[in-house]
Structure 1
């Protein structure tokens, strides 16, 4: 019983923090607001997280750990089953992210939290993400580099940066192309993934001399 209560309190705090960070940003959200939304006292937040900065980090970890494991599993399968092919590697990076964005259990709020992270330039969070998830980008970078051997490392990383930005934009659903009436979310997501992969593959393969 104790473990279930422990788990649910921690999850309630994370869920409340995610919603508030999405609405008000990191700087604009107080721990008092989080405790009010989660219906816990400040001691519970301090016990589970220790600080507001760590709470921010854990909101990301809760979503990113699952997405990361999915990405790496799909990358491994792509390299084993489609050796030398660029598109399956890009799909391994794109599809788990778009699935997360459409997760009915707060996925939309988390995407807004990502947008806040871009807007607020939170150095502590940036360092946390680099330390914990930088290896994922490096693994994908290496796999993609093997498919586009003509690119210098600098050119590759410019293109990967633009690819990541385009994926974030697609996750946020800010784009001009809204889900057409009568098309399911899953079908729309598959179309978005397909178009983004095609676009990114063309960009990564583009002749650098033109």
Structure 2
């Protein structure tokens, strides 16, 4: 009787299969993110990755098709949500009435929130690798999939900073993005003090970076 009761509570075979597939895919992505952060994209081989994830090469090929596509999915898993949050914050601002600081907050806060998340912090190291390794195919993927987000923010910055020429505006936005990437990495001199909570430290970082970026962008 007890055995039959357990059997009746088991998930249907097709549901178990979906859960197993999702679990395998997520395990591969999590392992890949960790290894790419530690060893870089070229330094982490598929053989090492599959061994660490406890799967075979066929599983990687089934879920992703190639190592290049796996790398892209590692980025997509984080950046889809990050940029959706950025655009949602930007769209909440009243058209034509938003301040420079508000637009910067929409750009900066979601990124810093991701970097302060336990799992998101590891991704920041992967992102740093992408900048350092100059992978053309990866840069093309990022531009094609997320370039529209940067264009929307650039349009708002241009509206708020009409005194800047196009080239000068791009220079300043690029430098602001560099400062944001540095703050997201957590490798700077400013570390959280023992009597400051994670949330308080996050808020301090957000506010300091907004003020810094606003001053740099708006300077004559």
Tell me how far 1:84 sits from its aligned partner. Answer: 3.7
Distance 1:156 1:172 in 2: 24
Please state whether the residue corresponding to 1:27 is helix, strand or coil: helix
> Is 1:183 matched with 2:196?
yes
TM-score, structure 1 length as denominator? 0.95
Q: Structure 2 unaligned segments of length 5 or more: list them.
A: 1-15
> Is 1:20 matched with 2:20?
no
Q: Which residue of 2 aligns with 1:5?
A: 20
> Is 1:54 matched with 2:69?
yes
Kindly report the root-mean-square deviation, in angstroms, between the aligned alpha carbons of the 2 structures: 1.0
> Is 1:172 matched with 2:193?
no
Range that drifts further, 128-137 or 31-40: 31-40
Q: Structure 1 unaligned segments of length 5 or more: list them.
A: none
Distance 2:31 2:62 in 1: 16
Q: Which residue of 2 aligns with 1:154?
A: 167
> Is 1:45 matched with 2:45?
no
Distance 1:196 1:4 in 2: 41
Q: Deviations over 1:70-115 (max 9, x none)?
A: 00000011234x81411110000101101111111x2121111011
Please state whether the residue corresponding to 2:195 is helix, strand or coil: coil
TM-score, structure 2 length as denominator? 0.91
> Is 1:91 matched with 2:109?
no
Q: Pick the structure with greater CA Rg.
A: 2
How many residues are aligned here?
205
**Which of 133, 137, 141 does residue 154 from structure 2 map onto?**
141
Distance 2:216 2:77 in 1: 32
Distance 1:52 1:9 in 2: 16
Displaced runs of 4 or more, over 2 A: none
